[in-house]
Amino acid sequence: EADIYQTPRYLVIGTGKKITLECSQTMGHDKMYWYQQDPGMELHLIHYSYGVNSTEKGDLSSESTVSRIRTEHFPLTLESARPSHTSQYLCASSQLPGGNSPLHFGNGTRLTVT
Amino acid sequence: GENVEQHPSTLSVQEGDSAVIKCTYSDSASNYFPWYKQELGKRPQLIIDIRSNVGEKKDQRIAVTLNKTAKHFSLHITETQPEDSAVYFCAASKGTNFGNEKLTFGTGTRLTIIP
């Protein structure tokens, strides 16, 4: 079934560790996004990509980095996790081109940095 | 850039009554307005969207209205049920031929249906 998959679902990690949040989609979409969201709160765009080798920073400044080597894969990396990075990270994708198209979200990774 | 304001931030409604959530946007060039529902612990999911060439769209108990002149759009839920309890987000974007628009989200409305 075409969907967008995020792993891990939950992650508890100590300060200073390097982490990578995985996001893969089988929807054939070119555009992918990372949002940061405290549970039930506002969605903040932190990174997006229009296609392979394209990455842009979003509206909310983030210490994380992303890469887009393959169309279906858009991992997010934190080189040195801090407690302030504790949040939920949602990956999303949408179709390109075609003008206005809805976002499809993954189930998210809930990150806790101790 | 686009700015989307959403009200109210919380809304409690008796089961069976109607709920209305309102959003305003700042960029008159915005032409796509989706609504997302996020249940507790789950991902946001699109429930309805409207484009600027129509003023109203309905899907069963859910409807969205758009007033381009006033730059506001609203979500209407009729005959509310307990499963409508969730956080609802409105959004706006400015589509281009290259499809490189970004959605700007509102701050969300926590809707609680009282049995």
pLDDT digits (tens, 9 = 90+) for A19-33: 999 999 999 998 999
End-to-end, the C-alpha distance of chain A in Å comes to: 36
At A61 the pLDDT is 82
> What confidence tier does B52 reach under pLDDT thresholds 50, 70, 90?
confident
Q: Which residue of B has its CA nearest to A108?
A: B43
What local confidence, expressed as pLDDT, does residue B98 receive?
57
Q: Judge contact between B78 and B87, C-beta under 8 A.
A: no
Percent of chain A with pLDDT over 90: 80
| Residue A7 phi, psi (nearest 5) | -140, 145
pLDDT of B43 above 90: yes
Strand partners of residue B4: B25
In this prediction, residue A98 carries a pLDDT of 46
Which pLDDT does position A55 carry in this prediction? 94
Beta-carbon separation of A40 and B87 below 8 A: yes
Per-residue model confidence (pLDDT) at position B96: 64
Residue A109: closest C-alpha in chain B: B43
Among A39, A45, A100, the residue with its CB nearest the CB of B32 is A100
Name residues whose C-beta falls within 8 Å of residue A95's C-beta, 6 or more positions apart in sequence.
Answer: A28, A29, A30, A31, A101, B99
Measured CA to CA in angstroms, residue A101 lies from A4, A6, A45, A82, A108 at distances of: 16, 21, 16, 35, 20
Task: Give contacts of A108 with chain B, Cβ < 8 Å.
Answer: 43
Q: What share of chain B is helix, strand, coil (3-state, %, to 5)?
A: 5, 55, 45
Q: What does DSSP say about strands A4-7 and A31-37: parallel, antiparallel, or unpaired?
A: unpaired
Residue A4, beta-bridge partner list: A25
Tell which of B35, B103, B104 to mutate to test the A interface (max A CBs under 10 Å): B103
How high does pLDDT run on average in chain A? 92
Confidence of residue A38 (pLDDT cuts 50, 70, 90): very high
Q: Is the pLDDT of residue B103 over 90?
A: no
Q: Could you tell me the CA-to-CA distances from A102 to A1, A7, B31, B106 in Å, in that order?
A: 18, 22, 13, 15
Partners of A43 on chain B (C-beta within 8 Å) are 44, 89, 105, 108
